[in-house]
Structure 1
């Protein structure tokens, strides 16, 4: 039986990330419209064929299942740090896909064992981007490719402005740092694009549901807001309102990589 591992020992920060996403699993699909929209653009860049496919940060398995349908004869692995996400994915999509708990910076796969890596908005949670790129270079077979989206500084800037607590939000490496990590890994950067995507919500509750509901806010020390601070934050956010609603910005980096070994 394909049973996700649940005993992976994680550093404290990654343990909090895994817990946040496990807790978000039941409602993730209903609230992940921004993530889905960003992923659709990445999907259009996929190669025609693949035999061994890895979905890093597979979450509830939405993209993993689509990969299985796109590449019906391929071996598909969905990997995630959060056991709750993997359990949800397995319950939805069954055992034809291999569901594996693991860290993108220490992939539990053999060298040169994958010819396509797909990862939509996942590796920004990894504190060591150099280790992530080295692991991609290690597991990709010669000529293997990776299609990745990750987040850049400026993501959720409106939320940071409203709260005036930027330390409570995810800290991400900038594009040049990611590119240096790719160069150090030996991977070939085929193409990269940076883009800002804005999504709109009717009120602050909807904004916060979209963030918390997909696990994108992880508790940090002294990051909680008082009732008065929440009232003030709501007023600040309302000052940013547009005719479409309250904006939430995602600064995205899309990568097309290839193994040159």
Structure 2
């Protein structure tokens, strides 16, 4: 059972499943970056892969093509997104509706855990990362992208100019993410800026609606029509262009770890 906010997120992305890939320019790039990082990290010997937040399958299809012999477990919070990813027979694997913050697996299961632009919807990101690392096999890697604090900076600035609060969540900075990963022996994080193609507030809102990213941060209601018009005008006056800051992280579980007072390889 998921909570009310997670259900709204699931419903919003499910409603966008049919048109998602028409609006998913940054999402395509983020998926490709994750797949490239994963292949450099583990080009061979990958037997079992878990994907968190598959969406319509942008990353899923790429991963399946790179590791055709691996067992894939593909998950998403939204049943409609999951069905879209599984449709057409393009990907072989096991498809599960699952909250990535509460994986149903225990013990070391996976050689790779991959996720592209899903972690920003988690309630407790540091705890979720630790939980996912726990289900890696020794030597396995968690590789993910999430939204960074620099995302939608011009949209936020337009809200501030109009003295209204933005519904965009408070994403972590790169320094924040690095601090979250500092407790792991083998981890790193970096960022990439990706400019949106569209110009103007209407294009930005169409992009967000098209991908289903319309649930505001917790305890923030959508703006009424008058305030929204003022913010849109301020955004357009500032040039009407915005960007994603993609934060990318990798954690690799040690091959030598204590268990029952001893060690294993």
TM range (shorter): 0.7 to 0.9
Normalising by structure 1, report the TM-score.
Answer: 0.86
Please report how far the alpha carbon of residue 117 of structure 1 lies from its aligned counterpart in structure 2 after TM superposition: 1.3
Counterpart Cα distance in 2 of 1:222 and 1:103? 22
Normalising by structure 2, report the TM-score.
Answer: 0.85
Q: Which residue of 1 aligns with 2:105?
A: 109
Tell me whether 249-258 or 200-209 shows the greater mean CA deviation.
200-209
Q: Deviations over 1:31-55 (max 9, x none)?
A: 1011112332332222312210111
**Residues 75, 168 of structure 1: CA spacing in aligned structure 2 closer, same or farther, 3 A cutoff?**
same
Write out aligned runs for 1:199-210 (5 A).
199-210=196-207
Q: Deviations over 1:37-82 (max 9, x none)?
A: 2332332222312210111111111211221111111001111111
Q: Deviations over 1:168-208 (max 9, x none)?
A: 11222333433333344x4620x321232222313322211
Please report how far the alpha carbon of residue 113 of structure 1 lies from its aligned counterpart in structure 2 after TM superposition: 0.6
Task: Name the SS of the counterpart of 1:117 in structure 2.
Answer: strand
- Could you tell me which of 8, 15, 20 is aligned with 2:12? 20
- Could you tell me which of 18, 30, 36 is aligned with 1:38? 30
For structure 1, the residue ranges without an aligned partner over 5 or more in a row are: 1-8
Indicate whether 1:48 and 2:43 are aligned.
yes
**Residues 78, 187 of structure 1: CA spacing in aligned structure 2 closer, same or farther, 3 A cutoff?**
farther
Q: Which residue of 2 aligns with 1:129?
A: 125
- Kindly report the root-mean-square deviation, in angstroms, between the aligned alpha carbons of the 2 structures: 2.1
Number of equivalenced pairs: 247
Indicate whether 1:256 and 2:250 are aligned.
yes
Contact 2:191–2:245 under 8 Å retained in 1: yes
**Residues 111, 222 of structure 1: CA spacing in aligned structure 2 closer, same or farther, 3 A cutoff?**
closer
Counterpart Cα distance in 2 of 1:42 and 1:194? 12
Tell me whether 172-181 or 150-159 shows the greater mean CA deviation.
172-181
Counterpart Cα distance in 1 of 2:237 and 2:137? 51
Counterpart Cα distance in 1 of 2:144 and 2:16? 22
Tell me whether 119-128 or 169-178 shows the greater mean CA deviation.
169-178
